[in-house]
Structure 1
């Protein structure tokens, strides 16, 4: 099924490439780019079949994101971020699933999950307030997942801390225009979100602890292994796939640009052994990054398909693989971009856009290696990692 989606995307590859500069100028996806994703079924890849989705293997979702990101970074980023939200919605309350998809299975859902809001308990639910950054693709979405902390009666954070994912319709939040001014991924429109005194009924919430430990989909009665995979594997999957795909796109444009290039010294690139060496090395490093990401996804899928619930140590090792794959791809991309010559940095050359997009994508919180490497090393040593923030990305 996903192969057919990717085939549809590849039939429109030239259109997606050509829309890259327009996405940047708008500071969000051009409506034509969003329509291309919608018509191809990209955002329905991980959506349940019962709600008009394709319910594919997450590896196929990642392969599709990789392919799109190689055409345009911002479009691939939206495919990866917005495309993963139906996966979590699959185990939300049936009532909210019907609200979101009942009339239109192509309804898109935004985020972010960072717990930047306070949810004060009231009869039947919560009164929710907060402000969030980085809501990718939000202009094209009609619902949103937002992270929040449980509050007390005074609206302050309750103790001990307890985190929720809350689901809100477009009428309950404000998109802050002109809040996405960045060096790369400009076309993602990852704007700020404000919520003021919105009532969120209990059925539109998920316990973050149950999302992370995998009990939420099991309590919802799901049996498809795709939905039983760890959140810490599936949520970063689209983001890391986008970054690696962007590196593949940079390689593609570098090769096209270098094919007939003559350096200022008069040496043709095809006759420069040092540049040729760098091209080959980068190509293999980027390919290894793709392979590692996809293999990790398949391994997690096979694990849960066999009935095994991944341990914390297994989740930590999987996150280490994802983080390293993204860093490896971007570092390899750097080696060829710096050998592309000064004209590659002109704004009409797509190489510089892919270079900027990759670095901004790598700056996403899920790619910060410190805590992930720290925790995975401790688990490898059979030492219990500390509680708290060190575990937050695992």
Structure 2
């Protein structure tokens, strides 16, 4: 096990591995999963233990530090940043589970990673002492390097049919209880995330390896678990999207850096140095400002919510809805900025040998995540600010 990092040390370690992680991104894109070297460097840096409880060798880091670290990784390689942002959040939730579950996952190996997803794509049928789980889950990022998985499940009746109205659990399973469909991930962007399908057939899940999804989302879970650390009372609807959107902003920063490096000596077919083209210079400056604004907006929300949580103040539904609006808008703003600079990078940017095209592909793939869908979030934030009460889907993930 690597030494527990002090504040700032994880990011420093990542910077030491920068050239290697940047180069390994090409291999990950080819393999359609993180390379073994990239996964090793993330373990050595301690990225996935930033939100892990201290009693299991974790850092219990400030979410801002986690976000800045994920952004830095995303700027080196989009897929590596994406996996860091998603897998890195799971220890935060495992801290609410029964101590027996935490001991099973981290007792022998504090470096253990957990994959996801949270969407209730399977059904948990109640039996004595727990549940029997069946289903298929898509988009399990980083799953090839994980020994456990934390996934969502709909609670079923005795016949295995989902209850109505629906009730959802988050459940934890060891690698021996699920199958990875190796052929299920063949995509245009974020290829290196290896976000493959998982299949579970008649796996027994003991009660202590389950938690009610609504208790995680509404903040009851940490209270019932007896957690008094500020980190674990931070709103789920901020911390879960944080890793995903931070990686996307990092991808945009990586694209901008590639663009600037390529444009320094570029000359148009008419012999004009790009540095003398005022339209391209404006586009680069505008894109840089938009990406910086996206970064600042995300970090400002994190800081405000942290300060409120630390003071024991409630982060209200309206504040959470506005926070989600800010986070979603930041993602779209950053990707639009990437489009502006990519469109002005010339035909050379299309070459697969250049990293810019991979950042461009990864940025658009990242925008496809459900956490970046703006419709219901913008609706909920506006309605709440007008004194309304959003219902149904408009309350989801807020």
Q: State the TM-score, normalized to the length of structure 1.
A: 0.99
Residue deviations 1:269-294 (CA, integer Å, cap 9, x gap): 11101111111111111011001001
Distance 1:197 1:391 in 2: 32
CA contact (8 A) 1:57 1:226 kept: yes
2:249 pairs, out of 211, 230, 244, with 244
Residue deviations 1:119-144 (CA, integer Å, cap 9, x gap): 00000000000101000000000010
Question: What's the secondary structure of 2:279's corresponding residue?
Answer: helix
Q: Does 1:44 align with 2:68?
A: no
Instruction: Tell me how far 1:225 sits from its aligned partner.
Output: 1.1
Instruction: Tell me how far 1:107 sits from its aligned partner.
Output: 0.2
Structure 1 equivalent of residue 99 of structure 2: 94
2:268 pairs, out of 258, 263, 271, with 263
Instruction: Tell me how far 1:390 sits from its aligned partner.
Output: 2.2
Instruction: Tell me how far 1:264 sits from its aligned partner.
Output: 1.3
Distance 2:15 2:393 in 1: 41
Instruction: Tell me how far 1:159 sits from its aligned partner.
Output: 2.1
Q: Does 1:227 align with 2:229?
A: no
2:338 pairs, out of 329, 333, 351, with 333
Task: Give 1:71-82 correspondences, 5 Å limit.
Answer: 71-82=76-87
- Larger displacement relative to structure 2 (55-64 or 217-226): 217-226
Distance 1:203 1:372 in 2: 33
Task: Give 1:1-394 correspondences, 5 Å limit.
Answer: 1-386=6-391, 388-394=392-398
Distance 1:347 1:281 in 2: 26
Residue deviations 1:308-345 (CA, integer Å, cap 9, x gap): 12221111111011101111111111111100001101
CA contact (8 A) 1:2 1:61 kept: no
Q: How many residues align?
A: 393
List runs of 5+ in structure 2 lacking aligned partners.
Answer: 1-5
Question: What's the secondary structure of 1:19's corresponding residue?
Answer: helix
Instruction: Tell me how far 1:392 sits from its aligned partner.
Output: 1.6
Q: Which runs of 4+ in 1 moved over 3 A?
A: none
Question: What's the secondary structure of 2:76's corresponding residue?
Answer: coil
CA contact (8 A) 2:217 2:397 kept: no
Distance 2:54 2:272 in 1: 57
Question: What's the secondary structure of 1:383's corresponding residue?
Answer: coil
Distance 1:385 1:391 in 2: 6
Structure 1 equivalent of residue 3 of structure 2: none
List runs of 5+ in structure 1 lacking aligned partners.
Answer: none
Residue deviations 1:218-262 (CA, integer Å, cap 9, x gap): 111111111101111000100000000000000000000000000
CA contact (8 A) 1:127 1:198 kept: yes
CA contact (8 A) 1:2 1:64 kept: no
CA contact (8 A) 1:371 1:390 kept: yes
The alignment's C-alpha RMSD in Å is: 0.7
CA contact (8 A) 1:2 1:45 kept: no
Instruction: Tell me how far 1:389 sits from its aligned partner.
Output: 2.1
